[in-house]
Structure 1
Amino acid sequence: MTHAIHYERVDDIAILKAQNPPVNALGIDVRLGLLAGIERAEAEGARAVLIYGDGRTFFAGADIREFGKPMKDPGLPDLCNRIESADLIVVSALHGTALGGGLEVALSSHYRIAVPSAKMGLPEVHLGILPGAGGTQRLPRVAGTEAALDMITSGRHFGAAEALEKGVIDRVQEGEPREIGLAYARELLDQGAPRRPVCDMPAPAAVDFDAVYEKTLAKGRGQLSPATAVRAVQAACEAASFLEGLRRERELFTELMESDQRQGLIHAFFSERAVSKLPELADVTPRDVASVGVIGGGTMGAGIATAALLAGVSVVLIERDASAAEAAGQRISGNLSGALKRGKISQDQFDTMTGDALELATEYGALEQVDLVIEAVFEDMDVKREVFKALDANCKPGAILASNTSYLDINEIAAATSRPRDVIGLHFFSPAHVMKLLEVVVADQTDPDVVATGFALGKRLRKISVRSGVCDGFIGNRIMNAYRKAADYMVLDGASPYQIDRVMTGFGFAMGPFAVGDLAGLDIGWAARKRRAPHRDPRERVVHFADMLCEGGDFGQKTGKGFYVYEAGKRGGTPNPDVEKYIAQDQADQGVSPREFSDAEILRRYMCAMVNEAAKVVGEGIARRPLDVDMVLLFGYGFPRYHGGPLKWADLQGLAGILEDIETYAKEDPYFWQPAPLLQTLVAEGRCFDDLNKAEK
């Protein structure tokens, strides 16, 4: 036995208690302990074994410290087979979570009981793999093929009630897992219940697996693991024997383990947990935030207010007049109604949030007691400065003054106050109560405890918070501006915007850059281009076809026409025939002879522009680590998670080849395609971006 599994005998029942805090992960000590416990129970003549977890959970999954390393014997597949083949009755009592390998251990038991609050699932597809210890073979046998396909390909968690309904467990009962499990095992013995190995159950019914595979691949926008899992479930139905099905599962598991997508998803998994952990804030205490002020009640301001209310923070929202304040209140109420309908909040919570917890006002004096204020007004420096002067005059000492600006200089905004140390950028993404990303923009004089408060608030709002320095557009919008320019240049040179959108959705984005522009509003980019125009370097290429659209009043979805035409009641849009005319005019005005672009060249140029600008952002210290960039693009810009982020993608592609392509593109446009010094350094030293992530740990 190992310290991770405690062995106990109660009459003729052996009890194996997992004690590997905090989540009883199935590391090598746990696996050795379970194997030894089963063998000891058999040798001592026990008639049944109870497996349960001490503390707050059953086995919550694999030990993440073993990810990417060869599994030491006994491996989990062999352990599950050994549990299942035990010559006594094996019962698992579930509480907390039984995820991944934890559920596979339970499925290898002969009987399963759970407390009502228990959660189960096989989330392996989110890590780019599939259940590899018999989960794709056993779950279909107990739950049926269609239910198993849904659970495995979605990777979703499901509760005890659904598990009971689907046959995943045999009983739900209140109580401590040891006591209910022991009573259940005793009952089974008293009834003379037989061993009931899942492997001996009939193969589940087949479905049209080719159709399910194609549908799953399309739904995942090219992610391989859910679709590959379909083929593993197919083996459960069609293999000549259970053992053959296990062999096929293992083959498919190994294929995924060796894929770039698995590396990308593992990178995303660890980076998501590391991105908000800043060493410089380890001993810094954040300020208390019980109430938040929001300036502006449009889509963004109402979304920020909604996020705060859902997190249990009271809100004072300021609008210019009573009519605008009322409209803001209706937007917030509408947002919260969605949460109410989905069962995320109760009617009582809804009433509290829209009543006692929300104050609508038109005077800055209403903010005198709030702990933090977030302005979400028009993206204009003069307007922002006036707002911050008013906040400085009305907010209490120690209140944090935050701007939701997407591009503007936080240092300049802070200079409008007498307390620049209390000023920070909190850049939310729209809709703010839905989107997970929060850029915490640290100005030159921002106090550390203000930064810590920004991250603490982000955690409370359930955001992925990323530290950014000050520059035009911060991390995300600065990089987006670069890859959007690359797309515009390709259009000017002959590519179709619709071809580019198609290529990028094929890469895994939900939308291409021109469809995204229509969704966000083409007027936003137009305003940014006009703002930058006086400071534009004369060497920069300038495209005009997007401006021509805006000059004609076509701003995208909000006006019904942009790069696409949108009709009421129809999903998506159709290409706008005016766009081709504007592009041709722009080409003629600039003397450009259009050429054809292959899909491969479009993807490479688009991604090289993204990677090059991202490398500049890291090299300049705007982002501290490459993984910070990756998380911004994943959670704010729809970058496909299974690629890990642009800089993880670049590592997998090879930095030397990317730099070589950038240098080739620079021959035609040396200003835009200036190679990032950091990229050049990494290639010269034979290093990659992930080396920089590891250096920060």
Structure 2
Amino acid sequence: MSAGEAVLTPVVHTERDGDVLVVIINNPPVNAGSLEVRRGLLAAIDTLQATPDLLAGVLIGSGSTFIAGSDLREFGKPLEAPELPSIIEAIEACTKPVVAALHGAALGGGLELALGCDARVATVKTVVGLPEVTLGIIPGAGGTQRVPRRVGVARAIQMICSGERIPSGKALELRLIDEVVSTDLRAAAIAHARSLAGRKCRIRDEAVLPDDPAVIESAVQSALRAGKRRPAVMAAIEVIQASARLPIDDALASERAAFQRLRLSREAFALRHQFFAEREAMKLPQAFQATPRPVQTVAIIGAGTMGSGIAISALDAGMDVLLVEQDEAALQRGSERIHEYYNNRVASGKLKVDQAAANESRLTPTTDWEQLRRADLIIEAVFEEMAVKHVVFAKIDAHARAGAVLATNTSYLDVDAIARAISRPQDVLGLHFFSPANVMKLLEVVRGEQTAPDVLATGMALAKRLGKQPVVTGNAFGFIGNRIYNAYRKQCEFMLEDGAWPEQVDAALQAFGFAMGPFAVADLSGLDIAWRMRRAQAATRNPQERYVAILDHLCEQGRLGQKSGAGYYTYPDGKRSATTDQTVRGIIEQASVQRGIERRLLSDEEIQRRALLAMVNEAALLLAEGVAGRATDIDVVMVQGYGFPRWEGGPVFWARQQGAAALQAGMDELARCSGGSFVRANLAVLLD
């Protein structure tokens, strides 16, 4: 170690560059602002202040980023001193200027720390933001007070309440960053620090940028709508607006009090649970870890809505795509769908013309199955019927090169039955994309009984490259998501026979936090999808099962949902009716009569409880069967793919909050309502 270098804590050390002290944060992988980081930073600022021949300081992160946020694991516990506001106070009180050198991401506490410095120098590819509201809290170290002093109250509300990530160029325009460089960041930050020698430039000393009250009110209403009036959004708006009317120290105290209250709220615990669950889901179990096979060229068989969406995802990720169809007309429709997507992105300003052209140039539409020999990965995305899948996979087997990964995009079919029909079952896995595939983040990666570890690893690597959230699932009917959703939907159908109307069930579950209720969702996706799945299961259905035929009767009358103008609801002029019509009510009432049920009024609380408990019971069964490898994976699937409210954490997290006695009573009720074939799970597997 040189004489100019000092280790202050294991994750922070300093180096002298002449008269500038460079403080280096090394807390991989993202330099999270942990207790040890805070201790090291405070010691470094003390050193800067106490050393006469030092004129300025620079804070910089090692590795690929500055500070990408605080250590979230600390937020559910009593916070230990020094807390981040103390570090920022020390920087502001220091008589020598401190410059933050930003690269990678400066998020949350990382950006708050940077805003507490006298200047900020960033690389071209840096992004900044305050995403705390997405975790059920607010910035707690001055973000709600310093940002309005640079961008105004309205823009601060927009930025903070949405968790917006801002690229460095835009951040420079907003004056959140003072300089953007494409050369040596450290050298540029040191030069900037020397230029400030003898001067302090504290944002806290600036006035809040004035704003038109009407513009502020518009920003408030937009944030409340987008944020569903969640507590963190409302608290953020309140403390941001306080920046314009309170002395900064009073406003900072108000911000910190709100932060401390929110970080221990149930909602914040739920959101942190989901945050960590998503990261855990990215990891393969030790037994399946392997080096992924290299993939650059992807062949997608089927140019329908799903196939086109998968193709767009791969093109956006920089991959070469073969789009394969059986006839020119279908291929043309798929190609036009992709071209229209990129045209719309350009027209809306979301994509540059040259990038759209580059993406489209990597697309090769073809009806020539010989082209499959070029592909590293082949994804079948054809009609959801086993006989059709077998025909397609026979062709894939005949044309794909040795070692290519072969994937079926199926929602519920048996991946092993598909794999066994070809000569190389070890190369087959399931990739269950969610529609629209270029928008939805969830990707269920289905492990067949003969899927090779490197094939599974390739599926996971592909998901990450596409920007998806992967979850590994075993091969079982419906995998994780559709099997749980099927149990949820069945219970909601039971409640129709018991006395509820579809609009009551939908409204109750929307009140809980789902974006849409199950019957509105069914109409949107098409009732014939569930009808087809039911018919596929009919031969193996338990005769003791409580089977609700309401959906079948709707489909038999041509009511297939929104696309046919009627399903559970009608769609005059394309808009959904507020209530169900007499045809639907007649079918439901007849179902109650045939079941021998006297209809009764169900409360919103009962509807919510039964629907959630049905999810929980099925989740426990899936975990016990090994279909889901981790209880937390189930929560990721249901939040990312099925609209379960993120701030409730997922069905497993919800169950863990209920208490053993309440869960037991709820399961007793569920068993009574669900018929003779109901399989009651041992919930202990979820609660351990």
**TM-score, normalised on structure 1?**
0.91
1:149 is the counterpart of 2:157: yes
What is the CA-CA distance between 1:615 and the residue it aligns to? 0.9
What is the CA-CA distance between 1:576 and the residue it aligns to? 4.1
**8 Å CA contact retained: 1:495, 1:596:** yes
Alignment of 1:28-67 (within 5 A): 28-45=35-52, 46-64=54-72, 66-67=74-75
What is the CA-CA distance between 1:243 and the residue it aligns to? 2.1
What is the CA-CA distance between 1:556 and the residue it aligns to? 1.5
1:399 is the counterpart of 2:401: no
What is the CA-CA distance between 1:276 and the residue it aligns to? 2.4
Letter in 2 for 1:33: G
Deviations 1:626-654, CA, capped at 9 Å, x for gaps: 11111111111121112221111111223
Q: 1:590 aligns with which of 591, 595, 605?
A: 595
What is the CA-CA distance between 1:300 and the residue it aligns to? 1.1
- State the partner residue of 1:694: none
- Aligned residues: CA RMSD: 2.6
**8 Å CA contact retained: 1:663, 1:675:** no
**8 Å CA contact retained: 1:85, 1:197:** no
**8 Å CA contact retained: 1:26, 1:102:** yes
What is the CA-CA distance between 1:390 and the residue it aligns to? 2.4
What is the CA-CA distance between 1:282 and the residue it aligns to? 6.1
**8 Å CA contact retained: 2:289, 2:453:** no
Letter in 2 for 1:491: L
- State the partner residue of 2:282: 276
1:298 is the counterpart of 2:304: yes
What is the CA-CA distance between 1:386 and the residue it aligns to? 2.0
Q: 1:266 aligns with which of 255, 265, 272?
A: 272
2:420 and 2:384 map into 1 onto residues whose CA distance is 17
Q: 1:106 aligns with which of 105, 108, 114?
A: 114
What is the CA-CA distance between 1:610 and the residue it aligns to? 0.8
1:238 and 1:401 map into 2 onto residues whose CA distance is 62
Alignment of 1:340-379 (within 5 A): 340-341=346-347, 346-361=352-367, 363-379=368-384
Letter in 2 for 1:429: F
**8 Å CA contact retained: 1:326, 1:360:** no
Letter in 2 for 1:61: G
- State the partner residue of 2:476: 471
With over 3 angstroms needed to count, the CA separation of the structure-2 counterparts of 1:449 and 1:23, relative to structure 1, is: closer
Deviations 1:272-298, CA, capped at 9 Å, x for gaps: 111121133565222232322222211
Other structure's SS at 2:120 match: strand
Deviations 1:638-694, CA, capped at 9 Å, x for gaps: 2111222111111122344223211123234343653213x1x45xxxxx53x4xxx
2:545 and 2:613 map into 1 onto residues whose CA distance is 18
- State the partner residue of 1:120: 128
Identity of counterpart residues, as a percentage?
45
Letter in 2 for 1:326: Q
- State the partner residue of 1:288: 294
Q: 1:16 aligns with which of 20, 23, 48?
A: 23
Alignment of 1:647-662 (within 5 A): 647-662=652-667
**8 Å CA contact retained: 2:158, 2:219:** no
- State the partner residue of 1:488: 493
**8 Å CA contact retained: 2:155, 2:219:** no
Other structure's SS at 1:439 match: strand
Q: 1:389 aligns with which of 385, 388, 394?
A: 394
What is the CA-CA distance between 1:145 and the residue it aligns to? 0.7
1:90 is the counterpart of 2:98: yes
- State the partner residue of 1:409: 414
With over 3 angstroms needed to count, the CA separation of the structure-2 counterparts of 1:43 and 1:423, relative to structure 1, is: closer
1:252 is the counterpart of 2:258: yes
Letter in 2 for 1:252: A
Letter in 2 for 1:601: E
Letter in 1 for 2:547: V
1:203 and 1:308 map into 2 onto residues whose CA distance is 45
Alignment of 1:533-612 (within 5 A): 533-568=538-573, 573-577=577-581, 578-612=583-617
Other structure's SS at 2:299 match: strand
2:534 and 2:439 map into 1 onto residues whose CA distance is 28
* Bigger mean CA offset, 430-439 vs 7-16: 7-16
Letter in 2 for 1:243: D
Q: 2:82 aligns with which of 74, 99, 104?
A: 74
Q: 1:320 aligns with which of 321, 326, 333?
A: 326
What is the CA-CA distance between 1:355 and the residue it aligns to? 4.2
Letter in 1 for 2:514: F
With over 3 angstroms needed to count, the CA separation of the structure-2 counterparts of 1:303 and 1:116, relative to structure 1, is: closer
**8 Å CA contact retained: 2:502, 2:580:** no
Other structure's SS at 1:465 match: strand
1:309 is the counterpart of 2:315: yes
1:439 is the counterpart of 2:444: yes
Deviations 1:410-463, CA, capped at 9 Å, x for gaps: 222222212222222111111112111111112222222222222222222222
- State the partner residue of 2:3: none
What is the CA-CA distance between 1:353 and the residue it aligns to? 4.0
- State the partner residue of 1:139: 147
**8 Å CA contact retained: 2:75, 2:263:** no
2:418 and 2:207 map into 1 onto residues whose CA distance is 69
1:357 and 1:52 map into 2 onto residues whose CA distance is 41
- State the partner residue of 1:685: none
**8 Å CA contact retained: 1:232, 1:249:** yes
With over 3 angstroms needed to count, the CA separation of the structure-2 counterparts of 1:66 and 1:258, relative to structure 1, is: closer
What is the CA-CA distance between 1:100 and the residue it aligns to? 1.0
- State the partner residue of 1:666: 671
2:496 and 2:349 map into 1 onto residues whose CA distance is 45
1:118 and 1:400 map into 2 onto residues whose CA distance is 35
With over 3 angstroms needed to count, the CA separation of the structure-2 counterparts of 1:285 and 1:53, relative to structure 1, is: closer
1:163 and 1:668 map into 2 onto residues whose CA distance is 56
Alignment of 1:510-521 (within 5 A): 510-521=515-526
Letter in 2 for 1:235: A
2:359 and 2:179 map into 1 onto residues whose CA distance is 38
Q: 1:182 aligns with which of 179, 190, 204?
A: 190
What is the CA-CA distance between 1:248 and the residue it aligns to? 1.4
Aligned length: 677
